[in-house]
Amino acid sequence: MIRLSARIASLAALAALSLSVIQLSAQEQAPTAPDQAVPAAPTAPVTFPKADPANFTAAAPSKETVYAFLNANWGYDENRMWQVQAILKTPVEGISKVVILVGDKSGKQKVQGISFFVLADGKHLIAGDEIVPFGATPFADARAIAQKRADGPTRGAISKDLELVEFADFQCPHCKEAQPNMEKIATDFPKARIVFQNYPLPQHKAAAPAAAYGLCVAKMGGNDAFFLFASTVFEGQDGLNTEDGATLTLNSAVTKAGLDPAKVQACSTTPEIVSAVNASVKLAEDLNITQTPTLLINGRPVPIGGIPYETLKQIIEYQAKLDGVSK
């Protein structure tokens, strides 16, 4: 579910062209491996109009940096193609306007133009009302933050070379729908470290208590107990819609995980656990995660509600390749 109520039309248009958190869309990303050559514009049957050299008036960013940025965001899609048309100075010192054209190799989609403003720090851009990471490795900072602060229950590998952080809300219907895909990911990517990070939305009354229960289950029973608890809560999600139903649903999930509901309930209201839930929400906010469920793939945010599994798998494989992670 979307944490923010609405987005302006320009972002909606950008959303049609991207799948993760370049937030030019709704979200998308991926750092280029340090030893990887900067990609040129894709070649394909579709013909873009020739770019006029007179439209490259800004000192920065370079055309190569823009192409690397676009490749990081869109390179997983072999059918997509793009061309930088202009990098223009603006009246504001250090801020440049970038204009690109986007199409597809089949020629079935109409070529569209997109523009955004790169800030003076060279690390952020403005698209519509959003400020998002920019550069040849736009997700590196988010990856470092997640590696340091994502501390939810885990499964899979110990190594953080490929870290997949799922930001989810137990009462969010789209989060429930995403769970079969998360199970497939766990099977298809045994070298991935998968972290469940609580992001209870304020409009869901039972979400924060469920998050607290889950952390207590992990504390008392370990990661395996947590994921059994989580699966059971998602399965009985409709029960969270009433106060009595939530209590029954959570207690039943605790019992299925092999723990004492009374002890878990007492644990869930302790300052330690409440603080941990709040810290998880703060992490999501600091990473500019605005909807659940979102999967952070080595720092690359991908909203996974409704995404076909094959597309999600393709993005993970692409990100792993960019980061030099072997299968």
**The pLDDT value given to residue 35:** 38
Mean pLDDT of 256-262: 98
- Token readout for 297 is 């793939």
Confidence of residue 327 (pLDDT cuts 50, 70, 90): low
Question: All domains of the chain, ordered by start, with CATH?
Answer: 9-30+32-138 (no CATH), 143-309 (3.40.30.10)
Q: What are the phi and psi torsion angles at 82 (to 5°)?
A: -155, 165
Confidence of residue 110 (pLDDT cuts 50, 70, 90): confident
Which of the residue ranges 104-113, 146-155, 249-258 would you say has the lowest mean pLDDT? 104-113
Determine contact, residues 223/155, Cβ cutoff 8 Å: yes
271 vs 326, which has greater pLDDT?
271
- Using alpha carbons only, how large is the chain's radius of gyration in Å? 21
The fraction of the chain above a pLDDT of 70, given in percent, is 86
Determine contact, residues 117/94, Cβ cutoff 8 Å: no
* C-alpha distance from residue 149 to each of 13, 219, 281 (Å): 33, 17, 11
CA 182/CA 231 separation, integer angstroms: 11
Cα angle for residues 256, 177, 80 (degrees, 5° grid): 145
Please give the mean pLDDT across all residues of the chain. Answer: 88
| Confidence check: pLDDT of 221 > 80 | yes
14 vs 208, which has greater pLDDT?
208
| Confidence check: pLDDT of 205 > 70 | yes
DSSP string, 84-104: EEEEEE-SSTT-EEEEEEEEE
Determine contact, residues 211/198, Cβ cutoff 8 Å: yes
CA 16/CA 24 separation, integer angstroms: 9
Identify the residue whose tokens are 């202009």. Answer: 86
Confidence of residue 41 (pLDDT cuts 50, 70, 90): low
DSSP string, 148-185: HH--S-EEE-S--SSEEEEEE-TT-HHHHHHHHHHHHH
**Judging by beta carbons within 10 Å of its beta carbon (0-12, 13-18, 19+), is residue 118 exposed, middle or buried?**
buried
